[in-house]
Chains A and B, each alone.
Chain A
Amino acid sequence: MKNPQRLPDLSRRTFLKGSSFSTLMSMLGGVPLVAQEKPTEPAAGKPVGRPVNCGVIGLGPWGREILATLSKIPEANIVAICDTYAPMLRRGQQSAPKAAATDDYKAVLENKEVEAVFVATPPHQHRELAVAALKAGKHVYCEAPLAHTIEDARAIAQAAKASFKSVFQCGLQARSHPQRHFLLQFIRSGAMGKPVMARAQWHRKQSWRFASPNADREKEINWRLSRKTSPGLIGEVGIHQLDAVTWFLDQRPLAVTGFGSLIKWTEDNRDVPDTIQAVLEYPQGVHLTYDSTLANSFEADYEVYYGSDSAIMVRDNKAWMFKEVDAPLLGWEVYARKDSFYKETGIALVANASKLEAQGEGGTADSAAAINSLTFALQAFLGNAGKVATAVKDFKENFGEDDEALKEHLADVRKSRLPAAGYQEGFDAVVVALKANEAILGKKRIQFQKEWFDLG
């Protein structure tokens, strides 16, 4: 299964957990945009309903991160864990000592106690596991990217669409974070003016290679380094940032042009570029420039949204706004925290800052940002799964088997679901990221076709 050994600084996990960049920015002086400490609607993450019995498949570093996070959520009852590699299974048991441990995922799916399955294996194994889990009637949380091919991702998304009694969530966890929802409203409201362009990056100095005890294991765990199994830097890591930009702009990209090179890590026979650039073209002439490298860690990772009135930089769960001198006065910024960046002055934006001030917590609280996206994403999944499961049970007890009527009822129930990436969002993100990877590998421009996003 995925990631048998922990690297000191690796991909999704470190990407999503944060870094010192925000501290650096604060020191330079910036404008933090921070959601309120107490989560707001719609991203309030407290699950509703009863605890959900969980099974986690894939206990590499990220699978164990999921396991560790679940173990801290009262609504998660971990009853099964699975990995094909015994040392990983043993390490997983440290977070879930009472869970049934197995090396066969079918045992997890056959376990009637298991209601929700978390798929945290390498992407090329997702299709078999996720589709089987949905067929077994489980709720499924499947890590992003959904798959390493569009065909596999489509199969998963279609299975999720057909399984209307199950909750399916893609691991684009930023979509569940209240800070992101705050920024979404802020950007969509036009507060930064007319969108002009966007820029995002993920920079690390690391090999992306795991040490292994033997050749077979080496091949299995280093799936990121082979084009046959790897979605590349943009598909494995960049997918989260590409999805965020697509979400905030509320537009699918029209085309992507990419470049990729293998510059630093040339001596281990990998065929996946360690340095990439991509330009995604959105409607109205807006472009996203994305770059990622394993050869240099400068400025780590962030996104910047440029508007005609201001630029907004998003780093982990924090953000800063840089206003243009001719931008209209919004009003609230007069009272907001001001920070100085290099040659720039920014205004602190904190959602519901006045309420926080009233509560004596100040408008500069950064603690909401300290709660990672994964926690909010898992809480959303558990809350939605618990609610749907209760709704199905209540319906069947009162009206028996009537799938069409149940489908209508669940559509109503889902209207108030906790925010999370569903199968369509997960599939859209895969199409964008994998086509970008294709453009990078071929150093070419690819025009997106509307039908690529169609699930039928």
Chain B
Amino acid sequence: MKPSFFPIRNVVLGLALIALAIPTPAETWARYQGQPRGSQLKLEGTSTLHDWKVEGKLIAGFMELESNFPLDPAAKPPADAKLNAKVEVKIPVTSLLSGTQLMDEVMYEAMKQKQYRDIQYRLKEISLKKGAPAGAWQFDAVGELSIAGLMRTNSMVVTIERVDAARLKVKGEMAFKMSDYGIKVRAPLALPLKVGDEVKVVFEWMTAQKAEAANK
């Protein structure tokens, strides 16, 4: 019998290897979309007159997590602390509200809202935080935060809680200096007011998984 150029056995084996090499997206990554309800963002700062606070409830964007991403605090921690995730966040500047139109105007102007409509965040790397208290995973997140058109690297600790079968809530705190982002606050009504440089940010981001898995 004349031997074939591609023996059937080799073809089957080759196809099987290819199939193993290309993972099915649904099995590997899960995509969670920012929800219009359930999120909170608080920015707190100081001034020579009084402390100030700005709040928002719109945090848009998405989060994609590999299937082995640790979400169950009762489960065994993964062997490798470095994790695979993709996160992009967008916060419309106009969704940040101070409670008065005048202060909103001052804030939007300082953040150059007309040119840069959103605060943006992109995750660069995430890893399991060592020594976190039992009962909840904590993660060290390093990302790029863009405000008023300037991007700076940012580090923070976040937690990810499962709300229900479809929803995850990301919680975190961070701080930044306004001067790092070129933000100069013009005091309203020409008041002799100085605003402190440091801003504390506390957030809770509600995300929900779509019916279909992300296509990576």
A binds B: yes
Contact of B36 among A50, A405, A417 (CB under 8 A): A405
Contacts known (A387-B94, A394-B92, A394-B95); A409 close to B101, Cβ less than 8 A: no
The answer, yes or no, to whether B34 is at the interface (CB within 8 Å) is yes
B60 with A48: CB separation less than 8 A: no
Complex contact A399–B98 (CB within 8 A): no
| Distance of A394 Cα from B36 Cα, bound (Å) | 11
Where the two chains meet, the residues of B that have a C-beta atom closer than 8 Å to any C-beta of A are 34-37, 57-58, 60, 90, 92, 94-95, 97-102, 104-105, 108, 114, 117, 188-190
Q: Is the CB of A417 within 8 A of B101?
A: yes
User: Apart from A41-B102, A409-B95, A412-B57, what 16 extra A-B contacts exist at CB < 8 Å?
Assistant: A38-B190, A44-B101, A44-B102, A44-B188, A46-B102, A391-B92, A394-B94, A395-B95, A398-B36, A399-B58, A399-B60, A408-B57, A409-B57, A409-B58, A416-B104, A417-B101
Closest 3 CB pairs of A and B: A398-B60, A394-B92, A405-B36
CB of B37 within 8 A of CB of A413, answer: no
Taking a contact as CB atoms closer than 8 A, the residue among A38, A40, A391 that contacts B95 in the complex is: A391
Known: A46-B105, A391-B95. A398 touches B100 (CB 8 A): no
In the bound complex, CA of A86 to CA of B100 (Å):
43
- Smallest CB separation, A167 vs chain B (Å): 13
Q: Which residues of B contact A48 (CB under 8 A)?
A: 101, 104-105, 108
- Find chain A residues with CB under 8 A from B94 CB: 49, 387, 390-391, 394
Please indicate the chain B residues that have their CB under 8 angstroms from the CB of A399 in the complex: 34-36, 58, 60
Interface residues on A, range: 20 to 34
Give the complex CA separation of A255 and B50 in angstroms: 46
Shortest A161–chain B CB gap in Å is 22
- Measured between beta carbons, the chain B residues less than 8 angstroms from A44 are 101-102, 188-189
CA distance A395 to B118 in the complex (A): 12
Mark out the residues of chain A between 34 and 88 whose CB falls within 8 Å of any chain B CB in the assembled complex. 38, 40-42, 44, 46, 48-50
The residues of A that contact B37 with a CB separation of less than 8 Å are 405, 408
Kindly list chain A residues whose C-beta atoms are within 8 Å of the C-beta of B98: 416
CA distance A42 to B101 in the complex (A): 8
Minimum CB–CB distance from B189 to chain A (whole Å) comes to: 6
Q: How far is it, in angstroms, between the C-alpha of A40 and the C-alpha of B188 when the chains are bound? A: 10
- Interface presence of A383 (CB below 8 A): yes
CB contact between A394 and one of B99, B117, B188, B189 (< 8 Å): that residue: B117
**Residue A402 at the chain B interface, CB threshold 8 Å:** yes
Q: B-side binding surface: helix, strand, loop or mixed?
A: mixed
Q: Measured between C-beta atoms, what is the minimum distance from A281 to chain B in Å? A: 36
Chain A residue at smallest Cβ distance from B60: A398
Which of A40, A394, A402, A405 has the most C-beta atoms of chain B within 10 angstroms of its own C-beta?
A394
Q: In this assembly, does A343 line the interface, its C-beta being within 8 Å of a C-beta of chain B?
A: no
The CA-CA distance from A46 to B188 in the complex, in Å, is 12
Closest to A398 in B: B60
- Nearest opposing residue in chain B for A414, CB measure: B97
Complex: A415 Cα to B97 Cα, angstroms: 9
Contact of B99 among A40, A390, A416 (CB under 8 A): A416
Judge whether A418 is part of the interface by a CB distance below 8 angstroms: yes
Contact A38 B97 (CB under 8 A): no
Chain A residue numbers with a CB within 8 Å of B99 are: 415-416
Beta-carbon contact of B101 and A418 below 8 Å:
yes
Q: Tell me, rounded to whole Å, the shortest Cβ–Cβ distance linking A349 to chain B.
A: 20
Establish whether residues B36 and A412, one from each chain, have CB atoms under 8 Å apart when the complex forms. Answer: no
Decide if A99 is an interface residue (CB 8 Å cutoff): no
Query: Does A191 sit at the interface, judged by CB under 8 A?
Result: no
Q: Is A406 an interface residue (CB 8 A)?
A: yes
Chain B positions within 8 Å of A390 at CB level: 94
Set of chain A residues within 8 Å of B104, measured between Cβ atoms: 48, 387, 416
Report A-chain residues with C-beta under 8 Å of the C-beta of B114.
Answer: 50
CA distance A402 to B58 in the complex (A): 13
A193 to B60 Cα, complex, angstroms: 51
Q: With A and B bound together, what is the CA distance between A417 and B97 in angstroms?
A: 11
CA distance A406 to B92 in the complex (A): 14
When chains A and B are docked, how far (Å) is the Cα of A394 from the Cα of B102? Answer: 20
Min CB distance A126 to B, Å, is 27
- With contacts A48-B108, A406-B36, A408-B37 known, is A38 near B101, CB below 8 A? no
CB distance from A388 to the nearest CB of B (A): 10
Residue of A nearest to B94 (CB): A390
Q: Please, how many angstroms separate the alpha-carbon atoms of A241 and B166 in the complex?
A: 56
Residues of A contacting B57 with CB < 8 Å?
408-409, 412
Q: Chain A CB within 10 Å — which of B36, B37, B100, B104 has the most?
A: B36
In the complex with contacts A409-B36, A409-B95, A394-B58 CB distance below 8 A: yes
A413 touches B97 (CB 8 A): yes
